[in-house]
Amino acid sequence: MTVIDPKQPLPVYIQLKNLLIQEIIDGRYGPGDRLPTEQELCAIHHISRTPVNRALTEMADEGIVLRQRRHGSFVNPGWIPPNTPASTLKVIVPEGSWEATVRAAAPPELSLDVVQVGLSDLRQVLVRAVAEGRAPDLAIMDSVWVHEFAASDFLTPLEELDAGWVHDEYEQDFVEPFRSANKFDGRPVAVQAEADVAGIWYRRSDLAAVGHQPPRTWDELATLGRALAQRGTAIPLTLPGGSLAGETATYCLLSLLASNGAGVLGRDAVTLDTAAATECLTFLRELLHAGVVPAESVRYQRHVPIRQLARGQASMAIGGSYDAPALAAAASLTTEHLLDQFGFIAMPAGPRGHAATLAGGMVYGIFRQAASPKQSMRLLRTVTSTEALTRMSKDTWQLAPRRTALQEAAQRSPFVRTTGTMLQQAVVRPSTPPYARVSAQLHALLESVLLERREPQAAAARTADMISAITGLPVA
């Protein structure tokens, strides 16, 4: 923050006036936004009320702000900063509804050049753009890339752009586990755009037909799966079981590990070669032998399991809350009626754990190469406002990553209310710069178990050694 210095020859009220005008030009305060009150400005800058009142009075006389008695001073939407050319922000987003989400929340006077990229190509496109010196101002990316990009200095720490917003809004209102997960070297470098949780989708009528409730433990899941198989269900439990499913396969495996208190990386070591992890893989192998899980799942692409569930080919599917719109569309249901036929639960508890889930999602990041970093920060503030995130959650069924928006959305949607409570027991994917290569090893681990290439303990040990070589961390 710029410090107002009474020892300078420039009067204090002019220093304050210039500071406020610059903050408006930089986008800290947009058209129609309220400036801090006179009392707040006195406290912020440690100055008396007289220069504050004079600064605001002159700004009102010049048409920069509009003063409303007992309400404060507001940036005049009609004021055009002198010598300020119109700038266009370049934004890269995944295909789907993201462009509409950003445009709906963006200030109307901001010009946006939005490029949509397929999710499978997004990381490569962003890395190449940085390498060629043409990175976007802002991008929406998978949260697991944050540490990789930050370690390579792709992203601007947000405190450098708006320390006040980081302190007053980010640290106070954004929820865990995302607030910590999106920090690098202790500083936030990205902001969660939405959140989703992993779990099991199920068809209510199929569970009712065999007289079972949604499973709460591995034992109950196995018993339910066998009952469905005996009833003649083609696929009792489907899942994205290999590399063709990409990150979705890793997402599901990590949620299973979490349900038994297992993980992949600790703070200082690889933690995959453990009895808890081996039990997870052994459980999968047992479900395979019991005819509950199909061996063909190793060849499924990410969208196949949820379509099998929608079409009645499967009774349960390991997936995420993000599958809700696709499931509704494939089952020819409106989202309002989806939960009449389908349910969603956290991963049932293993013998060493508890019902658990994995949380993930997309994030907003501002690049070091941004041509307009201040305006990019302004856009980031608006698209992650409580109002914008509440609207996003209502439209997509995804979870809002800030507390105030999550509470508002939960009042309107039983599904958001249910999945929102699952965040309290959620873990996140390993935060490590070489995450993409770690994830590839986890794909291979899942495939080796389902194809019976290795015994579960040997598969876990080998994968732990490979991840150790990638990360440089020892195996615990």
Residue 135: CB atoms within 10 A of its CB come to: 23
What's the pLDDT score for residue 426? 87
> Which CB contacts under 8 angstroms, 24+ apart, belong to 179-185?
181/143, 181/146, 181/428, 181/431, 182/143, 182/146, 182/363, 184/146, 184/147, 184/150, 184/151, 184/155, 184/157, 185/150
User: Domains in the chain, please, with CATH?
Assistant: 12-75 (1.10.10.10), 88-189+362-397 (3.40.190.10), 197-358+434-471 (3.40.190.10)
What's the pLDDT score for residue 84? 52
What is the residue-level pLDDT of the chain in tens, covering all 476 positions? 567 888 888 889 988 998 998 888 877 888 888 999 999 999 999 999 999 999 999 999 888 999 988 889 999 887 766 655 556 899 999 998 999 999 999 988 788 999 999 988 899 999 999 999 999 999 999 999 999 999 999 999 999 999 999 999 999 999 988 999 999 999 999 999 999 999 999 999 999 999 999 999 999 999 999 999 999 999 999 999 999 998 999 999 999 999 999 999 998 999 999 999 999 999 999 999 999 999 999 999 999 999 999 999 999 999 999 999 999 999 999 878 899 999 999 999 999 988 888 999 999 999 999 999 999 999 999 999 999 999 999 888 899 999 999 999 999 888 899 899 888 778 888 888 899 899 999 999 999 999 999 999 999 999 999 999 999 999 98
What's the pLDDT score for residue 275? 97
| Surface-to-core class of residue 434, CB atoms within 10 Å of its CB (0-12 exposed, 13-18 middle, 19+ buried) | middle
pTM value > 0.85: no
What's the pLDDT score for residue 88? 85
Give the contacts of 296 (CB within 8 A, at least 6 positions apart).
none
Q: 9 φ, ψ to 5°?
A: -65, -25
